[in-house]
Amino acid sequence: MSDAPASQEQALRQEILDKVKQYYQLKHAKRPFEPGKTYIGYAGRVFDETEMMALADSGLDFWLTAGRFSALFESSFAKWYGRRSCYLVNSGSSANLLALSALGAKTLGARRLQAGDEVITTSTSFPTTVNPIFQNGAVPVFIDTEVGTYNMDVSRLEEAVSDKTRAVMVAHTLGYPFNLDAVTAFCKKHNLWLIEDCCDAVGATWNGQKVGTFGDMATVSFYPAHHMTMGEGGAVLASSPLLGRALESYRDWGRDCWCAPGKDNTCGKRFNWQLGDLPHGYDHKYIYSNIGYNLKLTDMQAAVGVAQLAKLDSFIKARQDNYFHLLKSLSDYEPYLILPQQHPKAVPSPFGFALTVRDDAPFSRKQIVDFLESRKIATRMVFCGNIVRQPAYKGTHYRQIGELSGSDKIMRDTFWIGVYPGITAQVRDYIVEQFAAFLREKPGWKKN
């Protein structure tokens, strides 16, 4: 087949892609929603024949490592985000590991992160926002979390800083922007790096500007639950060329060479380098300036990402529509539940809709969660709750500021439900009806 004329090859490729489209229409035809029977996930992949055809197109190339689709996605996503560069990796967790590790590059001079340095973060978190701090030999400094915003209590920032502080690494929890005015001013005052974990928050804005464009780096996840997907996958975004070189090196084994996969001698002097104690002329492709990883993803994943990126704005709008509908529809139940709260400058790009059971509510979180699950409505906790209570972190070295009472409250009484684009208006109405069925029978209920 490799000797077939180009026109015949292209015709056969198109025939295959047309068959993939037909297969999608047969295999993945949408089923009608059946209230009380159809399971309503907290998240889910939203796709059509476009993604399957892109995946098949890439598979026919059989370019298994990063290739044309990866390059296209990196340039397109960086442009969409408003950052200079995008570095694809194999997960959002790897994106966090890469971003934090890159701060250890020797090229950063006196500002580089070293063992024993401190990184400020929040105590209600996904574990892999915090784990890279431990994994790089640094010390997390945990600040409490606000109930309602589920973000860092920025009033405690000055208490957290010390002469060892080098960075702030914090997520926009559930897609709700943290106070970027306060955090960026704090980082500027103390000359600290800022890493924005945007895995939950692609498309959220602060004062009209995308979150992820305020800090030195931003991280993103493309897991199926997130705003767009590649199956597995993630990215780090940055605008500094100095950080960009560090990110590329740490992602690609720690190598000093910057040749693209399958390319040689981009620098024009492959056999004319002398670095470290290596002999002059040692092959630049095998010179390592950092202790790095292999965090790259496949071109087939990137092909799915390219197709998803074309839909990202509509995905974000659907999430926001669902979020604001729930915010309005559940407002009658605020005597029992704390609904999500946003700063006036913040517009969320919600990953989920968080609810906290008030201390004096006539029911527990377990009771309402059990009820919703019995009605086929998925629920989730806010990740680790109070992360220092998790068994993995017992005996580790960290500092905490105050009692972390907000995180404890979230750990005990908060849950969230989905707002992803697969939740249609009909599904949304059913969710609201089930909240009403549970809450209106409670003692003391009356409409506001």
pLDDT at 267: 86
Across 146-175, average pLDDT? 98
In a domain, 74, yes or no: yes
pLDDT surpassing 70 at residue 447: no
CB 237 within 8 A of CB 217: yes
Q: What is the pLDDT of residue 324?
A: 98
Residue 245 domain flag: yes
Determine the Cα–Cα distance for residues 283 and 272; give it in Å rounded to an integer: 8
What percentage of the chain reaches a pLDDT higher than 70? 98
103: containing domain: 61-257+290-308
Euclidean distance between CA atoms 284 and 252, whole angstroms: 14
pLDDT band at residue 258 under the 50/70/90 scheme = confident
Q: How far apart are CA 163 and CA 403, in angstroms?
A: 22
233 and 276 both lie in a single domain: no
Q: What is the pLDDT of residue 393?
A: 98
Between CA 422 and CA 413 the distance in angstroms is 27
- Note whether residue 399 is domain-resident: no
164 and 137 in a single domain? The answer is yes
Is the domain of 229 the same as that of 272?
Answer: no
276 burial class (0-12, 13-18, 19+ CB within 10 angstroms)? exposed
Where residue 294 sits, what CATH number does that domain have?
Answer: 3.40.640.10
> Taking residues 113-119, what's their average pLDDT?
98
Residue tagged 């509509």 (tokens): 314
- pLDDT score of 2 more than 80: no
**Which stretches does DSSP call E strand in 32-93?**
85-89
Tell me, yes or no, whether 271 and 205 share the same domain.
Answer: no
Q: Smallest Cα–Cα separation from 225: which of 30, 431, 419?
A: 419
Mean pLDDT of all residues belonging to the chain: 96
What's the sign of the alpha-carbon dihedral 248, 252, 257, 260? Answer: negative
What pTM was computed for the model? 0.95
Question: Which residue has 């506001």 as its token pair?
Answer: 448
Claim to verify: residue 79 and residue 118 sit in the same structural domain: yes
Distance (Å) of CA 264 to CA 248, 260, 282, 396: 16, 8, 14, 44
pLDDT tens readout for residues 74-88: 999 999 999 999 999
Note whether 194 and 252 are same-domain residues: yes
Q: Which of 308, 341, 372 is the last residue of a domain?
A: 308
Residue 448 confidence (pLDDT) above 70:
no
In 268-359, DSSP assigns E strands to 337-338, 346-347, 352-357
Question: pLDDT tens across 263-309, in order?
Answer: 888 888 999 898 899 999 999 999 899 999 999 999 999 999 999 99
Query: Does residue 351 belong to any structural domain of this protein?
Result: no
> With the C-alpha atoms ordered 328, 333, 335, 339, is the resulting torsion angle positive or negative?
negative
Q: Classify residue 393: in a domain, yes or no.
A: no
Q: Are residues 282 and 154 located together in one domain of the fold?
A: no
Residue 277 lies in a domain: yes
| Tokens at 244, concatenated | 């960009």
Residue 79 belongs to a domain: yes
Is residue 211 domain-shared with residue 105, that is, in the same domain?
Answer: yes
Q: What is the pLDDT confidence band of residue 328, given thresholds at 50, 70 and 90? A: very high
DSSP 275-291: -TTSPTT--GGG-BSS-
Residues 418-440: b if buried by 16+ CB within 10 A, e if exposed: bbbbbbeeebbebbeebbeebbe
- The residue-averaged pLDDT of 183-208 equals 99
Q: pLDDT-derived band of residue 96, with 50, 70 and 90 as boundaries?
A: very high
Residue 1 has pLDDT above 50, yes or no: no
What integer pLDDT is reported at residue 444 of this predicted model? 66
**Domain match, 67 and 187 both:** yes
Same domain, 172 and 78: yes
The tens digit of pLDDT for each residue in 229-246 reads 999 999 999 999 999 999
Paired residues of 346 in beta bridges: 206
pLDDT of residue 265: 86
What is the mean predicted confidence (pLDDT) over 428-446? 88
My answer on whether 174 and 77 are in the same domain is: yes
28 is catalytic: no
Strand order in the sheet with 346-347: 209-210, 205-206, 346-347
- What is the pLDDT confidence band of residue 261, given thresholds at 50, 70 and 90? confident
Examine residue 408 and state whether it is found in any structural domain, yes or no: no
3-state secondary structure of 194: strand
Residue 169 parent element (H or E): strand 165-171
Closest CA to 145 of 172, 175, 110: 172
The tally of domains found in the chain comes to: 2
- Residue 350: is its pLDDT beyond 90? yes
Choice among 73-77, 198-202, 271-275, 382-386 with the minimum mean pLDDT:
271-275
Spatial contact of 406 and 173, defined as CB atoms under 8 Å apart = no
Mean pLDDT over residues 204-209, rounded?
98
423 falls in which pLDDT band (50, 70, 90)?
very high
- The reply to whether 165 and 79 lie within a common domain is yes
Distance CA 156, CA 49 (A): 49
How far lies 412's CA from each of 83, 174, 384, in Å? Answer: 38, 18, 11
Beta strand 165-171 pairing with 118-122: parallel
- The stretch 429-441 carries a mean pLDDT of 95
CA 48: distance to chain centroid?
23
pLDDT digits (tens, 9 = 90+) for 9-65: 999 999 999 999 999 999 998 899 999 999 999 999 999 999 999 999 999 999 989
Catalytic residue among 172, 226, 227, 343: 226
Angle among Cα 207, 196, 99 to the nearest 5 degrees reads 150
Taking Cα atoms as reference points, which of 173, 174, 147, 176 lies closest to residue 359? 147
